[in-house]
A and B are shown apart, each in its own frame.
Chain A
Amino acid sequence: MSALIEIEQLTIKTADGRPLVTDVSFSIHAGEPFCLVGETGSGKSLVMHALMGSLPDELRCSGQIRYQKENLLALPAAQRRAFWGRRFALLPQEPWLALDPTMTVLDQVAEVLLALEGMPLGQARKLATTELSVLGLGDNLLSYPFELSGGMAQRVSIAMARIAASPLLLADEPTKGLDKALCQTVADLLLTEADAGRGLLVITHDLDLVAALGGRLGVMRDGRLLESGVTEPWLKAPTQPYSRELIAAMPQHWPRPQTKVSAQRSEVVQAQGLSKSFGDRHLFSDLDVTLREGEVTVVLGPSGSGKSTLGNVLTGLLPADAGQLIWPESASPLKYQKIYQDPPAAFIAHQTLRQSFDDLLALHGLEPARLNHLLSELGLAEALLERRPSGISGGELQRLAIARALLLEPVMLFADEATSRLDPVSQKKVIELLLAEVAERGLALLLVTHDPALAERIADQLIRLDQQPTDAAAQQQAA
């Protein structure tokens, strides 16, 4: 099988000569997915745009990208642009943002034919209708993008890519912003395209997607291709230390937490017959939950299923519509702390972390030594405090949020999707720290997530909120 695309020693530099991508070589074959794996900033998106020919003018490329025996990098920009849509079709990142908010889905698909083949509008619409119907969007032809769920928007962008029948499909982070549960669906859609004989390049940091796609992969870090090869054996036996770290960070590969001593544990909150709805949207009803010290409770469900709301109700941050909540008599709200999904959003942005922590210590008359002790326990350098929340990484800030909560010696921590915005390695670290605190201090941990693998790995008690979200709700969540 001859390669559809051959990339050889691709190097991308800034105008002032700083290398962003160095000596990357791999090839893509028709009918076989190729995944380029790496963290944000590893250079994987740059490689894709170099292939597409859509890099900013300021960047310099060298090396070769061969397509049909021709070196694309040697072609003039106009000629490369003529390939867009015809030869290379791009599935955009977060497709709900890549669709024109004021044009119907049908017309956005049809206009590809208008532009590429000069087809009359009526015929283009007819073909677009067929294409969208095949993908199960027959009822949404005249919908606008804001009326679609994340998964539906993804399928619209696939329809746009398919309709021109280009031989190579480039997918940019196709699972970004989607629930974990949709990962398999996205993989199936992409595999259909590969099975139809197309080349498929997928840029992602989602190893679940990589595993579901199979084929071949390359691992990128700091602008270099660390290794490349066939996906399946790589997942079982990675050779590079960085690859091993990536794979170990997948929740299904985490070591099982030790089974705990089943001592008599006291309840931190008891809830009976809880119900809650927002307007017409019914979230849950007649739900009984008990959270105990030293226990990990996970609420699992898709976007919009009301899992965060349940957490807020149990933490006393939101009233329930019906039902009874019993907290121990001695409990103060200060002992029920929450860790937020987006770490910077939980800190005062314009002041240093030192200032925020000093205020907190002063407010409760706490010893600074306590904080220092906690920081070292959580593996955080004290110097981080001199920065502002925007100046440190999400993983570090999330650990600082945990330190902040632990200062008040809580009996319960509510982690609201607390790791969903972190990369897998940071996610693993944060979860391990939380579990260690549960074991050591005997706190109750309530974790809300949409990742079934994570939930199954750590839960002592698992609550599923399976109610299918309305599309509008899912879309809201995605946006």
Chain B
Amino acid sequence: MSSTVTLPADVLSEHPASSFWTLSRLAGAIILLMLALFAFLGPALIEADPLSQDYDAVLVAPGDAEHWLGTDQFGRSMLARLTHGARLSFVMALLTAASAALPGIALGILAAWRGGWVERLLVASSDVVLALPGLLLVLLLLAFSPGSFGPLYLGLALYLWVEFFRVARIEAARVFTQPVVEATLRLGFGWGYILRRLLLPALAMPMLTLFAFAMGSAVVAVSTLSAIHVGLRPPTPELGAIIVELMPHYSEAPWQVLMPATAIFLLVLSLQLFAGAKPR
């Protein structure tokens, strides 16, 4: 049980840890960096084609001299498929998160700044998006052409912008009601100065956090949709698809199932660790 009295921090000479680089954020950043190297350097360094099949070397266990991480049921190089899969996840996550963040943040600031019907309209449209769970929305769009990239990207961005909008609006509204805004304007500064010196610095941290969470959500969504056969389809080296494809061969080749699962886990974990606590 915590102590009954809370003393001012200086009495107990407690110094709050450095605010940005917490231990978990550092760990997240390191794992993320290693995964990024694997995903972006891997395809360039590894000559094996993730699609080329070799029926003479099917389900080779990892540790083989020729196939370091083994092969799948068609004799394709697991290493090649994993690096390409990781790159695909990274690119999709970055693309969708960026496409959601830019309009989300801009509209959030606009809503908080203008208020009135502009704000009501934007809030109402975000509420409409939230009426359906995100995956359902993406599924409905994917129904138009299962397995293709366009609706997947569109659906994810359409859903993810809401979170950026919501938090940016609340944060901006909080900043705008602070006396410092009134004081700064009265001293003769313009809105541009307030945007640069007050608003953007205040938004930077929560938005970075949301961006990492959005990337995590995108990674999960993309792999999940392939795993349930409506997202990107085999033979595309997509991590979720690789897992499900290899599931029937689990007894013979357990590592081939566990490796892509670990890759997804590490990617999502590192993004969540890097993100820190979610702003509300």
Asked if chains A and B are in direct contact (CB within 8 A), the reply is: yes
Residues of A within 8 A of B180 (CB): 345-349
Q: Are B189 and A338 in contact (CB under 8 A)?
A: no
Q: Give which listed residue, A41, A342, A359, A408, contacts B179 with CB less than 8 A.
A: A342
Q: What is the chain B residue whose CB lies nearest that of A18?
A: B13
Measured between alpha carbons, how far is A345 from B178 in the docked complex, in Å?
7
Q: Are A56 and B188 in contact (CB under 8 A)?
A: no
A69 at the binding interface (Cβ < 8 Å): no
Measured between alpha carbons, how far is A56 from B12 in the docked complex, in Å?
10
Residues of A within 8 A of B179 (CB): 340, 342, 345-346
Q: Are B187 and A348 in contact (CB under 8 A)?
A: no
Q: Which of A422-462 contact B (CB under 8 A)?
A: none
Q: Are B184 and A348 in contact (CB under 8 A)?
A: yes
Q: What is the chain B residue whose CB lies nearest that of A48?
A: B5
Task: Knowing A346-B183, A360-B187, A408-B188, say if A14 contacts B5 (CB, 8 Å).
Answer: no
B7 at the binding interface (Cβ < 8 Å): yes
Measured between alpha carbons, how far is A150 from B51 in the docked complex, in Å?
72
Q: Which of A27-42 contact B (CB under 8 A)?
A: 40-41
Q: Are A408 and B187 in contact (CB under 8 A)?
A: yes
Q: Are A41 and B188 in contact (CB under 8 A)?
A: no
B182 at the binding interface (Cβ < 8 Å): yes
Q: Give which listed residue, A45, A56, A334, contacts B3 with CB less than 8 A.
A: A56
B193 at the binding interface (Cβ < 8 Å): yes
Measured between alpha carbons, how far is A26 from B179 in the docked complex, in Å?
45
Interface of A is mostly: loop
Q: Are A337 and B186 in contact (CB under 8 A)?
A: yes
Q: Are A14 and B178 in contact (CB under 8 A)?
A: no
Measured between alpha carbons, how far is A39 from B101 in the docked complex, in Å?
48
Residues of B within 8 A of A364 (CB): 188
**What is the interface size of chain A, counting residues whose CB is below 8 A from a CB of the partner?**
35
Residues of B within 8 A of A340 (CB): 179, 183
A139 at the binding interface (Cβ < 8 Å): no
Q: What is the chain B residue whose CB lies nearest that of A405?
A: B187
Contact with A along B184-227 (1 / 0, CB 8 A): 10111100010001100100000000000000000000000000
Q: Which of B1-47 contact A (CB under 8 A)?
A: 3-5, 7-8, 11-13
A387 at the binding interface (Cβ < 8 Å): no
Residues of A within 8 A of B187 (CB): 334, 337, 360, 363, 404, 408
A189 at the binding interface (Cβ < 8 Å): no
Task: Knowing A347-B180, A348-B197, say if A41 contacts B186 (CB, 8 Å).
Answer: no
Q: Are B201 and A350 in contact (CB under 8 A)?
A: yes
Q: Are B5 and A58 in contact (CB under 8 A)?
A: no
Q: Which of A1-54 contact B (CB under 8 A)?
A: 14, 16, 18, 20, 40-41, 45-46, 49, 54
Residues of B within 8 A of A404 (CB): 187
Measured between alpha carbons, how far is A404 from B189 in the docked complex, in Å?
13
A351 at the binding interface (Cβ < 8 Å): yes
Residues of B within 8 A of A408 (CB): 187-188
Q: Which of A358-378 contact B (CB under 8 A)?
A: 359-360, 363-364
Measured between alpha carbons, how far is A359 from B183 in the docked complex, in Å?
14
**What is the interface size of chain B, counting residues whose CB is below 8 A from a CB of the partner?**
22
Residues of A within 8 A of B12 (CB): 14, 56, 58
Interface of B is mostly: loop
Measured between alpha carbons, how far is A45 from B6 in the docked complex, in Å?
11
Q: Are A334 and B183 in contact (CB under 8 A)?
A: no
Q: What is the chain A residue whose CB lies nearest that of B202?
A: A350
Q: Are A363 and B189 in contact (CB under 8 A)?
A: yes
Task: Knowing A317-B182, A342-B179, say if A334 contacts B5 (CB, 8 Å).
Answer: no
Residues of B within 8 A of A14 (CB): 11-13
| A46 smallest CB distance to B (angstroms) | 8
| A224 smallest CB distance to B (angstroms) | 16
Residues of A within 8 A of B188 (CB): 334, 360, 363-364, 408
Q: Are B186 and A333 in contact (CB under 8 A)?
A: yes
A57 at the binding interface (Cβ < 8 Å): yes
A186 at the binding interface (Cβ < 8 Å): no
| A366 smallest CB distance to B (angstroms) | 11
Q: What is the chain B residue whose CB lies nearest that of A43?
A: B11
A55 at the binding interface (Cβ < 8 Å): yes
Q: Are A20 and B184 in contact (CB under 8 A)?
A: no
Measured between alpha carbons, how far is A408 from B182 in the docked complex, in Å?
16
Q: Are B8 and A41 in contact (CB under 8 A)?
A: yes
Q: Which of A323-362 contact B (CB under 8 A)?
A: 333-334, 336-338, 340, 342, 345-351, 359-360
| B206 smallest CB distance to A (angstroms) | 14
Measured between alpha carbons, how far is A150 from B188 in the docked complex, in Å?
38
Residues of A within 8 A of B3 (CB): 56-57
Q: Give which listed residue, B182, B189, B197, contacts A351 with CB less than 8 A.
A: B197
Q: Give which listed residue, A54, A333, A347, A349, contacts B5 with CB less than 8 A.
A: A54
| A218 smallest CB distance to B (angstroms) | 20
| B180 smallest CB distance to A (angstroms) | 6
Measured between alpha carbons, how far is A398 from B239 in the docked complex, in Å?
59
Measured between alpha carbons, how far is A319 from B3 in the docked complex, in Å?
49
Q: What is the chain A residue whose CB lies nearest that of B180?
A: A346
Residues of B within 8 A of A57 (CB): 3
| A473 smallest CB distance to B (angstroms) | 18
Residues of A within 8 A of B7 (CB): 46, 56
Q: Are A54 and B11 in contact (CB under 8 A)?
A: no
User: CB within 8 Å of B: which residues of A?
Assistant: 14, 16, 18, 20, 40-41, 45-46, 49, 54-58, 317, 333-334, 336-338, 340, 342, 345-351, 359-360, 363-364, 404, 408
Q: Which 4 A-B pairs have the closest CB atoms?
A: A56-B3, A54-B4, A346-B183, A345-B179
**Besides A54-B5, A56-B12, 14 new A-B residue pairs in contact (Cβ under 8 A), listed by A number:** A16-B13, A49-B4, A56-B7, A317-B182, A337-B186, A337-B187, A342-B179, A345-B180, A346-B180, A346-B183, A348-B197, A359-B189, A363-B188, A364-B188
A–B complex contacts, Cβ < 8 Å, 13 sampled: A54-B5, A317-B182, A345-B178, A346-B180, A346-B183, A348-B184, A348-B198, A349-B180, A350-B201, A359-B197, A363-B188, A404-B187, A408-B188
